């Protein structure tokens, strides 16, 4: 099968080579001029071509260009991020072009897989995010900065240093890994925390099947294409930016000792348990101990330039984040070198990024421990070995971890050294045909280090000596791609095509070792190398996967009115089962520009295009060897009178050998319309995406004896359908520029088929059932509080059985759903889910005389979430600090929805009840930013070309009824996305920044 493809590819190539001839030139004249933006800044590197010919050049130093063109020809001027313009020459010899930033313009250049398109020619759903909008925000990863900037994406992150945000495009389409595919300068990779956003030139998000189809089996979760900056022809430009950010942790409002003691005694008294001997002389604010003001420094500098035959872009950056939890930090150093050069028909270039990132882990989870610890526990306690305060059997019965103790006793973190880049070369045989070789390489060398010193941080902690462990890993990702691109225009027929082959190899290997009783000297220093200590353990493993692909795309447009686009991709992966390794992924899309029709004559509509497409994508985002059962020989047993070690072998994990591609079928119907000379534009999309044969570890019975995770199986079908709308307005009145974008996304998730038997799936607090979204909250319903014993005695089912005989006034009344006279698991019911009904972003900007104001709002509405921390704080069953001012039911205080405080009883505080279910809706001011561009007159005196001062704030206002720290929390569990387990919250941030160039 594979060989057939090679032949097909080659023969098509020869066919294309022989079919077309070089177009001949016409009568000519020379035109010169400059290309600038609206502010007059030279757009070095802008491309100028003669419409309908292969003649093209790029703007050099100061935006100057020179081109030879027929007197009645038309110039097409474009630059990434700007609306391209067509300018008739009309026999002029000097033409200065002002390009407008492509905020609303449909003539924007969009990078799609293996090529570019004009936005107006798009037939699929592609969102473009401006690098500038991302850079306005202080973020560790690109994904985190995308929140609210476009439709169809769901982003959840958190403020932990080095944390990676979770991004989901158009709903949860599978259960294994819902992160989209990142393509950075043609390298298939991951824009993780190692990647420096400063280098971004443009971001495009391919959301539907036709747009993403060229990435076939990788693209089921959408594709995010990032291109990095390139040097532009001209003298060296130096750009520098510096930003300092202060980060504030949102805080719980917790009780101080006197109030806490009163309530803690009440909980013990109600339970009939003798009170613990709380130490009233201590009043510790554990949030003050664990949290601090964080900060981030983001420093970047770039040098770029070029000449007629080449260009360079070199940047260096440092990002340092001191976390808001003690002991946490993230540091990153980045270096990037992008160069390109050309001679005749040959050009070559490379993009290379080197980064070193280091994260100091958070130890334990202080977000939880600050309330698990009681205010009556001192931070230091000399009666404890090691000297830290923590729970005590008599005085403060809690197993919370002293965050200061664990931060000092345990140190761990990881260093990632990453090289990521590609080398490409291009042969432009003719104006319409070019061949490109792309060699991508990425490696990450990771070093994890852990040291636990002697010491204790919690009550009843087990005795362990000092322990050190380390692991070193290397990841390599190699990519070889050959593509042949064709683009030509015949009268009103625009034809372009691409044909390509791709081979990718990924390898990962790790070795690890650990030792105990690490040697310590008199000063307390630990010699934490693996040569020291005893009880050594070591191990290691390696993995390799290959992907072979062939793909082709044909785009055809007639008169700019009828656009059609077809893609076919063939993939073969080593990860799937024998006989199921290969798959075809086709897509077709079409668009009709109604506004181009003669009959269409609506003056206030500048452009109207309808789009429709259908396509299939695949996914095999699973482990390296999942379909293949193996024998586990890892543990050992002790045997014999001498208790010698013997080895074993057994199959631990079951497998399904027939694992095959999961396929995503997506239909998309959309329109793009712009009004009032493109000042106002509206883009709308409706999509239905069905994922079949989703690969996931469907729960299997424990009676199988399986362990090590549920075996993957193609046993789920999901549907995501949704509506996306983006409305953009851009206007100006004299020097005042203003505008805004309102985007709206509603995605409905539905399970079509489920599991081996089609049985409902129960995980954590959720039920998943066919016809409903993934992960319905499945909880006991409460029905208020018993106010009197009489109410308890009268609470009977239809047969007159007493439903809650053990309840007392002040206890919760549960609904006996099945009317069997008792409260059991069978009384649980569906109580909503964690998927928002809709999410919306509102981005507003205005600028006047160098001042710019940006405001980004983001809102998410309709999700139901479980407030995990509140179970502990309001539960009273286990000791924890309580929320300030909370007043549980007492005979004197009956008008409350907090049941009576009861120690060591789950009567009112079990985790699976609707008492903890809250609305997860919120609206948040993600960003407000004010910047000032220093006037050009001042700058030229000191030799600067631009300088900007900015101040900004992030997450400053949050409107929500959610009582936890942050409604925008992240939970990676697909079923329990809405369970807040004490997630690290998003932070309030205040930044000052300076950008300048010379």
Partner 1 sequence: MKKSLLVILIVLSLTSCSKSVLDQLNPNAMPVSQFWKTEDDAQKGVNAIYAMFYQNGGWNRWIYFRLDLTSDEGMSKSPWVELADWTRFNYVNYNFFEGNGNTWKDTYKAIFRANQVLKFVPDIPFADEKKKAAILAQAKFFRAFYYFYGALLWENMPVITDPHLDDPGYTPPAGTLADVWTQVERDLNEALPDLPVTWDNPNVGRPTKGAVNAYLARMYMQQHKWAEAKTALDYFFTGEGKGLYQMVDFKENFRATQENNAESIFEIQFSDANKTGEGDGVNANMGSNRTQFFAPRGIGWSDGQARFWLVQEFKKEKTTDNQIDPRLRYSLFYPDQEKDFGDKIYGRSWEWGADEAWFKKYSRDYYRNNEDYYSEVNNRLVRYADILLMYAEVLNELGQTVAAVPYVDQVRARSKMAPLATAYPAAVLSKDNFRDRLKMERALELCGESVRWADLKRWGDLESQQKVDVVAQRDPDFKNFTVGKHIRLPIPQTEVLNNPNLKQNAGY
The residues in 498-537 that bind partner 1, with binding defined as CB under 8 A, are 501, 503, 514, 516, 535, 537
The rounded radius of gyration (Å) of the Cα atoms in the chain is 31
- Long-range Cβ pairs for the range 15-22 (8 Å, 24+): 16/433, 16/484, 16/486, 16/497, 16/499, 17/429, 17/433, 20/430, 20/432, 20/433, 20/486, 20/488, 22/430, 22/431
Of the ranges 36-44, 57-65, 208-216, 458-466, which one interacts with partner 1 (CB under 8 A)?
458-466
640 lies in the binding site for partner 1 (CB under 8 A): yes
647 lies in the binding site for partner 1 (CB under 8 A): yes
905 lies in the binding site for partner 1 (CB under 8 A): yes
**CA nearest 303: which of 226, 353, 203, 230?**
230
Q: Which of residues 416-435 bind partner 1 (CB under 8 A)?
A: 427, 429, 435
824 lies in the binding site for partner 1 (CB under 8 A): yes
The DSSP secondary structure of 556-575, one letter per residue, reads EEETTTEEEEEEEEEEEETT
- CB 705, min distance to partner 1, A: 2
Q: Which of residues 566-585 bind partner 1 (CB under 8 A)?
A: 572-574, 578, 581-582
- CB 633, min distance to partner 1, A: 7
The DSSP secondary structure of 606-625, one letter per residue, reads EEEEEEEEEEEEEE--S-SS
Candidates 94, 521, 531, 642; binder of partner 1 (CB under 8 A) is 642
- CB 456, min distance to partner 1, A: 11
Phi, psi of 822 (to 5 degrees): -145, 160
CB nearer partner 1, residue 574 or residue 890: 574
# of chain residues touching partner 1 (CB under 8 A): 108
- CB 476, min distance to partner 1, A: 14
What does the alpha-carbon distance between residue 232 and residue 302 come to, in Å, rounded to a whole number? Answer: 12
Candidates 380, 490, 527, 634; binder of partner 1 (CB under 8 A) is 634
Q: Look at residue 15 and give its three-state secondary structure.
A: helix
- CB 142, min distance to partner 1, A: 30
Contact, 161 vs 140, CB < 8 A? yes
Pairing label, strands 988-997, 979-980: unpaired
93 lies in the binding site for partner 1 (CB under 8 A): no
Q: Look at residue 19 and give its three-state secondary structure.
A: helix
The first and second tokens of residue 715, run together, are: 């046993």
CB nearer partner 1, residue 40 or residue 539: 539
The first and second tokens of residue 437, run together, are: 């070789």
Q: Which of residues 432-451 bind partner 1 (CB under 8 A)?
A: 435, 437
Pattern 466-485, partner 1, x by CB under 8 A: --------------x-x-x-
CB nearer partner 1, residue 336 or residue 384: 384
Q: Which of residues 547-566 bind partner 1 (CB under 8 A)?
A: 548
- CB 981, min distance to partner 1, A: 16
What does the alpha-carbon distance between residue 540 and residue 513 come to, in Å, rounded to a whole number? Answer: 9
Q: Look at residue 691 and give its three-state secondary structure.
A: strand
Of all helices (H) and strands (E), which one includes residue 505? strand 493-516
Pattern 32-71, partner 1, x by CB under 8 A: ----------------------------------------
CB nearer partner 1, residue 547 or residue 718: 547
- Cα 170 → chain centroid: 13
Q: Which of residues 908-947 bind partner 1 (CB under 8 A)?
A: 910, 912
Phi, psi of 937 (to 5 degrees): -60, -40
Pattern 769-798, partner 1, x by CB under 8 A: ------------------------------
CB nearer partner 1, residue 668 or residue 804: 804
830 lies in the binding site for partner 1 (CB under 8 A): no
Candidates 641, 734, 941, 943; binder of partner 1 (CB under 8 A) is 641
Pattern 389-408, partner 1, x by CB under 8 A: ----x---xxx---------
What does the alpha-carbon distance between residue 21 and residue 252 come to, in Å, rounded to a whole number? Answer: 72
Q: Which of residues 723-762 bind partner 1 (CB under 8 A)?
A: 755-757, 759-762
Candidates 90, 293, 543, 788; binder of partner 1 (CB under 8 A) is 543
Pattern 852-891, partner 1, x by CB under 8 A: -------------------------xxx------------
Contact, 672 vs 607, CB < 8 A? yes
What does the alpha-carbon distance between residue 721 and residue 840 come to, in Å, rounded to a whole number? Answer: 16
Using the 8-state DSSP alphabet, how is residue 893 labeled?
A: B
2 lies in the binding site for partner 1 (CB under 8 A): yes
What does the alpha-carbon distance between residue 452 and residue 450 come to, in Å, rounded to a whole number? Answer: 7
- CB 953, min distance to partner 1, A: 42
650 lies in the binding site for partner 1 (CB under 8 A): yes
What does the alpha-carbon distance between residue 407 and residue 358 come to, in Å, rounded to a whole number? Answer: 17
Phi, psi of 386 (to 5 degrees): 100, -25
For residue 326, count other CB atoms closer than 10 A to its CB: 18
- CB 391, min distance to partner 1, A: 8
- Cα 394 → chain centroid: 46
What does the alpha-carbon distance between residue 332 and residue 615 come to, in Å, rounded to a whole number? Answer: 40
Contact, 861 vs 921, CB < 8 A? yes
CB nearer partner 1, residue 780 or residue 947: 780
Q: Which of residues 976-995 bind partner 1 (CB under 8 A)?
A: none
Candidates 63, 216, 566, 711; binder of partner 1 (CB under 8 A) is 711
CB nearer partner 1, residue 163 or residue 761: 761
Q: Which of residues 683-702 bind partner 1 (CB under 8 A)?
A: 698-702
Q: Which of residues 232-261 bind partner 1 (CB under 8 A)?
A: none
Contact, 957 vs 928, CB < 8 A? no
- CB 140, min distance to partner 1, A: 31
């Amino acid at each position: 099968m594979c060989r057939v493809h090679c032949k097909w590819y080659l023969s098509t190539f020869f066919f294309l080579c022989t079919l077309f001839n070089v177009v001949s030139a016409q009568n000519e004249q020379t035109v010169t001029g400059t290309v600038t933006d609206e502010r007059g800044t030279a757009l070095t590197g802008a491309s100028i071509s003669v419409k309908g010919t292969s003649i093209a050049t790029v703007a050099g130093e100061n935006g100057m260009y020179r081109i030879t063109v027929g007197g009645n020809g038309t110039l097409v001027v474009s630059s990434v991020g700007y609306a391209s313009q067509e300018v008739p020459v009309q026999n002029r010899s000097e033409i200065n072009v002002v390009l407008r930033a492509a905020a609303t313009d449909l003539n924007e250049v969009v990078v799609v897989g293996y090529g570019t398109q004009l936005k107006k020619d798009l037939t699929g759903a592609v969102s473009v995010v401006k690098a500038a909008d991302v850079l306005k925000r202080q973020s560790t990863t690109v994904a985190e900065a995308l929140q609210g900037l476009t439709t169809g994406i769901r982003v959840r992150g958190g403020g932990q240093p080095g944390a990676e945000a979770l991004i989901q495009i158009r709903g949860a389409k599978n259960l294994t890994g819902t992160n989209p595919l990142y393509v950075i300068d043609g390298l298939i990779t991951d824009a993780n925390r190692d990647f420096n956003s400063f280098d971004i030139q443009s971001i495009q998000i391919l959301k539907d099947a036709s747009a993403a189809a060229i990435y076939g089996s990788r693209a089921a979760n959408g594709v995010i294409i990032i291109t990095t900056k390139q040097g532009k022809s001209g003298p060296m430009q130096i750009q520098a930016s510096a930003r300092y950010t202060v980060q504030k942790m949102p805080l719980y409002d917790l009780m101080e000792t006197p109030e806490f003691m009163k309530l803690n005694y009440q909980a013990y008294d109600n339970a009939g348990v003798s009170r613990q001997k709380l130490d009233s002389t201590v009043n510790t604010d554990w949030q003050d101990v664990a949290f601090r003001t964080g900060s981030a420094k983001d420093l970047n500098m770039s040098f770029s330039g070029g000449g007629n035959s080449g260009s360079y872009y070199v940047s260096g950056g440092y990002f340092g984040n001191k976390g808001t939890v003690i002991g946490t930090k993230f540091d990153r150093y980045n270096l990037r070198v992008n160069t390109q050069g050309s001679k005749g028909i040959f050009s070559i270039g490379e993009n290379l990024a080197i980064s070193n990132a280091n994260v100091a882990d958070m130890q334990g989870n202080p977000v939880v421990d600050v309330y698990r610890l009681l205010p009556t526990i001192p931070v230091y306690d000399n009666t404890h070995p090691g000297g830290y305060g923590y729970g005590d059997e008599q005085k403060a019965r809690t197993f919370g971890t002293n965050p200061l103790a664990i931060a000092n006793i345990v140190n761990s973190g990881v260093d990632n050294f990453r090289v990521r880049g590609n080398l490409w070369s291009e042969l432009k045989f003719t104006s319409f045909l070019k061949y490109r070789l792309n060699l991508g390489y990425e490696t990450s060398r990771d070093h994890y280090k852990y040291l636990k010193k002697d010491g204790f941080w919690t009550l009843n902690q087990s005795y362990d000596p000092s322990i050190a462990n380390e692991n070193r890993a290397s990841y390599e990702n190699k990519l070889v791609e050959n593509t042949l691109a064709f683009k030509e225009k015949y009268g009103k027929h625009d034809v372009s095509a691409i044909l390509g082959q791709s081979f990718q190899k990924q390898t990962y290997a790790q070795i690890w070792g650990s030792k105990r009783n690490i040697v310590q000297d008199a000063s307390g220093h630990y010699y934490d190398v693996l040569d020291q200590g005893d009880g050594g353990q070591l191990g290691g493993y390696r993995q390799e996967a290959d992907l072979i692909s062939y793909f082709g795309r044909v785009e055809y447009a007639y008169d700019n009115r009828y656009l059609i686009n077809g893609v076919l991709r063939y993939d073969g992966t080593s990860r799937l089962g024998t006989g199921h390794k290969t798959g075809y992924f086709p897509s077709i899309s079409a668009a009709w520009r109604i506004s181009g029709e003669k009959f269409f004559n609506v003056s206030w509509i500048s452009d109207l295009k309808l789009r429709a497409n259908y396509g299939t994508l695949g996914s095999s985002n699973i482990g390296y060897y999942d379909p293949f059962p193996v024998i586990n020989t890892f543990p050992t047993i002790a045997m014999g009178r001498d208790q010698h070690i013997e080895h074993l072998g057994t199959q631990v994990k079951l497998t399904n050998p027939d694992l095959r591609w999961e396929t995503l079928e997506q239909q998309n119907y959309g329109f793009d319309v712009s009004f009032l000379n493109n000042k106002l534009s509206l883009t709308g999309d409706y999509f239905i995406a069905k994922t079949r044969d989703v690969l996931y570890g469907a729960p299997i019975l424990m009676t199988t004896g399986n362990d090590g995770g549920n075996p993957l199986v193609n046993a789920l079908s999901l549907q995501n359908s949704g509506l996306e709308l983006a409305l953009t307005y851009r206007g100006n009145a004299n020097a005042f520029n203003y505008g805004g974008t309102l985007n709206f996304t509603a995605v409905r998730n539905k399970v079509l088929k489920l599991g081996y038997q089609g049985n409902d799936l129960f995980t954590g607090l959720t039920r998943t059932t066919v016809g409903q979204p993934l992960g319905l909250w499945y909880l006991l319903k409460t029905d208020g509080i018993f106010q009197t014993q009489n109410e308890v005695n009268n609470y009977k089912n239809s047969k007159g059985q007493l439903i809650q005989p053990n309840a007392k006034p002040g206890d919760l009344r549960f609904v006996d759903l099945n009317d069997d006279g008792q409260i059991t698991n069978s009384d649980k019911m569906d109580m909503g889910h964690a998927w928002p009904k809709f999410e919306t972003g509102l981005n507003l900007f205005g600028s006047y005389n160098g001042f710019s104001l940006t405001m980004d709002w983001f809102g998410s509405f309709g999700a139901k979430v479980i407030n995990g921390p509140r179970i502990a704080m309001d539960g009273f069953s286990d000791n924890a600090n309580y929320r300030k001012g909370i007043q549980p039911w007492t005979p004197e205080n009956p008008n409350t929805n907090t049941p009576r405080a009861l120690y060591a009883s789950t009567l009112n505080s079990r985790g699976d009840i609707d008492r903890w279910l809250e609305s997860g809706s919120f609206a948040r001011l993600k960003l407000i930013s004010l910047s000032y561009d220093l006037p050009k007159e001042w700058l030229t005196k000191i030799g600067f070309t631009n300088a900007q001062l900015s101040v900004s704030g992030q997450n400053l206002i949050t409107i929500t009824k959610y009582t936890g720290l942050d409604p925008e929390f992240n939970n990676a569990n697909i079923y329990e996305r809405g369970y807040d387990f004490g997630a690290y919250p998003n932070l309030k941030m205040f930044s000052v920044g300076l950008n300048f160039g010379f």
